Structure 1
Amino acid sequence: MQDYDESTAFLGSWGHFQKSVFFLLCASILPNGFGAFSLVFLTDIPSHHCLIPEVNLTQDWHEAIIPIEVVNEKQELSRCSRYKLDVVRNLSAWGFVPGRDINVTELEQESCMDGWSYSKNIYHSTIVTEFDLVCSEQWKQPFTATVFFLGVLVGSFFSGLFSDKFGRKPVLFATIAVQTVFTFAGIFSPSWTVFSIMLFMSGLGNISNYASAFVLGVEIFTGNVRVLFSSLGICLSFSFGYMMLPLFAYFLRDWKSLLLGLSVPGLLSLIFWWFIPESPQWLLSQGRVKEAEDIIRSAAKKNNVEAPQVIFGDTTADERQAKKNYDLLNLLRTTNIGSTVATLCLVWFSLSTGYSGLSLNTSSLHSDPYVSCFISAAVEVPAYISSWLALRNLPRRLSVICILLLGGVSLYIIQVVPQGLSNLSIALEMLGKFAITAGTSLMYAYTAELYPAMLRGTAVGMGTCVSRVGNCVAPFLLQLTFYFKNLPNIILGTLSVLSAFATFFLPESFGRPLPQTIHQMHKREK
């Protein structure tokens, strides 16, 4: 069978058909930018201290009943303890004045028996304030993000397999529907456990539809349009959605309203079902030649060009069966390809851990979390533009190596920045975010270019699945700042440098057509 790009060359690369599919696929990605990091606001921990019930205390004792603690060399009110209320009430009734008659630091302390008082300067409510995920329950706060990314992990694994088995289009819209429905359902959660279940289910669809849309576009577009879509188009759509997230969160400051606002764009995306076609390359890999030709003929009409009488021809039953018999396990049994899979997994894991860790850490960049989130999102725009330029002009392997080294070195340098130069530390952290974001964009295109159509969805799904392990680890990695402030950056930098060296052993795909068969992939590995 003739190469797909050659067979469809008569369509042109940027007609009405390609334009409509390009922008609709990009629009379907916007909700992922909302959903992936909405946890920054949904799970943020406002300032809080023990709630003091309405008891007869003097103003002095009201102000002194919460102990003062030193956290990160700063004095602040204790979040998890208060001086024993019965003792304080008696001292207040007897007329003792704290600091003058009584040294309050010698008084016995107790836990927050009556709950907590949360600051509403930034948020009206988050799931932390709703379900009291503080003090002894604070482990649930980072674990909430891990639950979401566990859902993303499971969804990425199965969506890749289903995409290769049932088609790109059904999986794309099924995962959009899952993400939308369970995001909305989370509003009605009566407990943290139920909310976590809804979040896990929402995670099944999140990013899975991103991967499906990515593979669908890569297989429909050709030439420079394919590069434009796989680097700039789909990635910038995610980034624009991400940049809109702080705007949503700013005006919807309670967690239920925010979830409602985030579910609406996904609902609108379901309308695209009637305008986005199935991948002709996937149909061909299944031997469904007539259906593939029908899509191309419809595209030819939209582009006002005439299609040849025979576009793809046909494949023999033996060829079809040979294609259908291959799966990822077959590839892992081959030494050369197995080592490529292992290397790709390491690079995906490192990039995803770094991307999630730096993105979830945005609340520490600036005193205003909305500004922090926007900065973190905005830095992705030049990152994606850089990855697009690299995909157009530079070898894939060299690009990934350089970007990983840039990310690793910038995160290492943060350790030697003087404490007074906080802006320089933020700049270096954002340089690391820039590099890791660009690397992630490169890896989507690089991975897709290494595999044939019958395994491309599984391969990209495998990469995203492995990367979600990094997503699950990232929230707890950030907790290591309790032991050493820069420890997360050191770990992320080390992963980036190790992955850069591992990338030396990947095959090159720059300037080569997409492999159509397992045999072509084997030749590229040698």
Structure 2
Amino acid sequence: MSNVDRLMESVGEFGPFQKKIGTVGSLPLALFAFVLVSVVFLGHTPDHWCRTPESERLRERCGWTEAEVREATVPRATGSASFSRCERLQLDRVECDQPISNTTRSVACDGGWVFDGSRTTTVTEVGSVFFPWFVSGSRAPRCFPRFGRKSCFIATMLGVGLLGIGAMLSPSYPVLLLFRFLQGFCGKGAMSTAFILVLEFFGSRNRKFVSMMNRTFYSAGMVILPMLAYAVSSWRTLQLVMSLPCILFVSYYWLIPESPRWLFSRNRTAEAMKVTAEIAKCNGTSLPQNLPEITLLGENKEAPPVSTMDLFTAPTIRKNTLILIYAWFTSTVVFQGLVLRLGIVGGNLFLDFLISAVVELPTGLIFYLLVDRVGRRSLMAIANLTGGVACLAVPFVPAEYSFLKKLTAIIGRLAIVIGIETLNFANAEMYPTPLRNVGVSVCSSASDFGAIVAPFLLYRLATIWKELPLLLYGVMSVLYSGLVMMLPEMRGVALPATMEDVENLESEQCLSHTHTHTVDHTCS
């Protein structure tokens, strides 16, 4: 155990200070849910129908309302009570006091569309499709090594708020896209920084508390979002309401301290000891008198810089990185696919989103109860194996058993979310302090690529067979469950401080396994 771990253990690893900062540090997660998935509502295409050349004339000459004009000029969709979005009636002559003949010929839309005016979205105002996509924040946490966890968190949260306001004021689609692009960049960076900042105050046995609180607040944000979107009919007002609170987190500059682990890693020992003393005071403990002085190669010598390439140099770290990248990609493709699949079967967007969010609400508690009992890699493997089997099973459940079909899909989605939470938790544990931010950011950035790919996979495969995407999700998840068993188990293991700690960890676990089971041929 390093001197830093001994010091943090002596001042309390799960006292009042950790519980307070774990709760306060998780509050932003509710807003991250707004930023990262609100595009479902901001860019939703409302009900619409073909615009006809005669519309204005009929309203003026006949005094008809918009609804009466629609009834007269737009046919019903085949096999549906809703109006067609692709065709309009070819009207040669319309008498105000005579009904339109049912035999009137239909033609393709050639004059644009009329949108339901009960609420506005980016589609109705900026005139272009608003894709559910945000850019990776993998480079945002690069400021970690130089400026620290807290400074990066505050800067990225301020960016999320200001860029969100800029998006609200956007006069055109390209400007809107630029602001959302940058807001996603800051949002992903802020999400990573908040998690890592809080995590480093906890000992190995209680780090799961951070993930539970993060997931609980994030899920609460997901539950609040559809209700907020339903109550606010204008996308600009909704964008403003979701963005303004982010600026308030600038107050965290005075409310939370910098990570002492990061301060020690940067040789800022005096500042680190001051923060540690504050933790001890809050927890009702005291600094140990016999602990050796913690120094790192001299007070003024900078720690060596880190880069993405450091994730692929050492063998163990390289293997872990590749597995984690695939895990993040698969988790996002499957999760996003299951969410978007709701749109294929139709229904009420707000209600469907709310139900799915409520189902995910207990995942933080389930994760908390299982992660130390089962282990990180085992829980990831079991959760994704369960989700994969559920995805493989749904297509073969007869349509007449609709309740069983929906229940199986819900179980699969719940399992996938538990796997995502465990992955997020384990990812941060598997990298040493200097590489932790870069490792989490690079690996989790694979989820951004997965978010872009997910809609294309879903809709392309669904044109062949509506249930075909589920078969792909099932195979990907089952493969994921096997690969994660090659990762080291971090249950009860102190956060690694150096790259050597990570490289030695697997050898130590192999040696321990060999002593328990004679010879393990996988440990070379």
- Indicate the TM-score class for this superposition, using the shorter chain for normalisation: 0.7 to 0.9
Distance 2:419 2:402 in 1: 26
Distance 1:347 1:320 in 2: 40
Among candidates 216, 220, 240, match of residue 236 of structure 1: 216
Q: Please report how far the alpha carbon of residue 97 of structure 1 lies from its aligned counterpart in structure 2 after TM superposition.
A: 5.5
Among candidates 82, 87, 102, match of residue 81 of structure 1: 87
Distance 2:167 2:41 in 1: 15
Distance 1:413 1:500 in 2: 17
Could you tell me the percent identity over the aligned residues?
A: 28
Distance 1:312 1:445 in 2: 31
CA contact (8 A) 1:40 1:360 kept: no
CA contact (8 A) 1:323 1:517 kept: no
Q: Is 1:173 aligned with 2:154?
A: yes
Q: Please report how far the alpha carbon of residue 320 of structure 1 lies from its aligned counterpart in structure 2 after TM superposition.
A: 9.7
Q: Which amino acid aligns with 1:207?
A: K
Q: How does 1:20-99 map to 2 (within 5 A)?
A: 20-52=20-52, 53-56=55-58, 63=71, 65-70=73-78, 74=80, 76-84=82-90, 88-90=91-93, 98-99=101-102
Among candidates 167, 173, 186, match of residue 205 of structure 1: 186
Among candidates 196, 210, 221, match of residue 215 of structure 1: 196
The Cα offsets for residues 195-237 of structure 1, whole Å up to 9 and x where unpaired, read as 11111111012232121111111111124432211x2111111
Higher mean alpha-carbon deviation, 43-52 vs 434-443, is at: 43-52
Structure 2 residue runs of 5 or longer lacking an equivalent are 508-524
Q: Please report how far the alpha carbon of residue 31 of structure 1 lies from its aligned counterpart in structure 2 after TM superposition.
A: 0.6
Q: Please report how far the alpha carbon of residue 117 of structure 1 lies from its aligned counterpart in structure 2 after TM superposition.
A: 2.3
Distance 2:216 2:96 in 1: 63
User: Which residue of structure 1 lines up, in the alignment, with residue 119 of structure 2?
Assistant: 124
Q: Which amino acid aligns with 2:472?
A: I
Among candidates 452, 458, 463, match of residue 472 of structure 1: 452
The Cα offsets for residues 120-147 of structure 1, whole Å up to 9 and x where unpaired, read as 5xx51111222344xxxxxx34xx212x
User: Which residue of structure 2 lines up, in the alignment, with residue 137 of structure 1?
Assistant: none
Distance 2:50 2:292 in 1: 71
Distance 1:132 1:48 in 2: 13
Q: Is 1:299 aligned with 2:279?
A: yes
CA contact (8 A) 1:66 1:81 kept: yes
User: Which residue of structure 1 lines up, in the alignment, with residue 511 of structure 2?
Assistant: none
Q: Please report how far the alpha carbon of residue 525 of structure 1 lies from its aligned counterpart in structure 2 after TM superposition.
A: 3.3
Q: 1:423 to 1:271 in 2, by over 3 A?
A: farther
The Cα offsets for residues 351-382 of structure 1, whole Å up to 9 and x where unpaired, read as 12222333344556773322212212122222
Distance 2:435 2:300 in 1: 14
Q: 1:386 to 1:319 in 2, by over 3 A?
A: farther
Q: 1:20 to 1:385 in 2, by over 3 A?
A: closer
CA contact (8 A) 1:11 1:305 kept: yes
Distance 1:79 1:188 in 2: 30
Among candidates 236, 246, 271, match of residue 226 of structure 2: 246
Q: 1:439 to 1:46 in 2, by over 3 A?
A: same
Q: Which amino acid aligns with 1:131?
A: V
Q: What is the TM-score when the length of structure 1 is the normalising length?
A: 0.87
Q: 1:310 to 1:291 in 2, by over 3 A?
A: farther
Q: Which amino acid aligns with 1:128?
A: V
Distance 2:356 2:368 in 1: 19
User: Which residue of structure 1 lines up, in the alignment, with residue 132 of structure 2?
Assistant: 145
Distance 1:129 1:213 in 2: 35
Q: How does 1:448-487 map to 2 (within 5 A)?
A: 448-480=428-460, 481-487=462-468
Equivalent residue of 1:90, what SS? coil
Q: Is 1:111 aligned with 2:109?
A: yes
User: Which residue of structure 1 lines up, in the alignment, with residue 516 of structure 2?
Assistant: none
Q: 1:201 to 1:315 in 2, by over 3 A?
A: same
Equivalent residue of 2:206, what SS? helix
Structure 1 residue runs of 5 or longer lacking an equivalent are 134-139
Q: How does 1:122-521 map to 2 (within 5 A)?
A: 124-133=119-128, 140-141=129-130, 144-146=131-133, 149=134, 151=135, 153=136, 155=137, 157-229=138-210, 231-308=211-288, 313-317=293-297, 324-363=304-343, 367-480=347-460, 481-521=462-502
Distance 1:345 1:21 in 2: 29
Distance 1:375 1:365 in 2: 15
Higher mean alpha-carbon deviation, 6-15 vs 356-365, is at: 356-365
Distance 2:154 2:69 in 1: 59
Distance 1:74 1:422 in 2: 21
Q: Please report how far the alpha carbon of residue 23 of structure 1 lies from its aligned counterpart in structure 2 after TM superposition.
A: 1.7
CA contact (8 A) 1:17 1:299 kept: yes
Distance 1:96 1:364 in 2: 35
Q: Which amino acid aligns with 1:203?
A: G
CA contact (8 A) 1:80 1:111 kept: yes
RMSD of equivalent CA atoms: 2.8
Q: Which amino acid aligns with 1:77?
A: F
User: Which residue of structure 1 lines up, in the alignment, with residue 506 of structure 2?
Assistant: 525
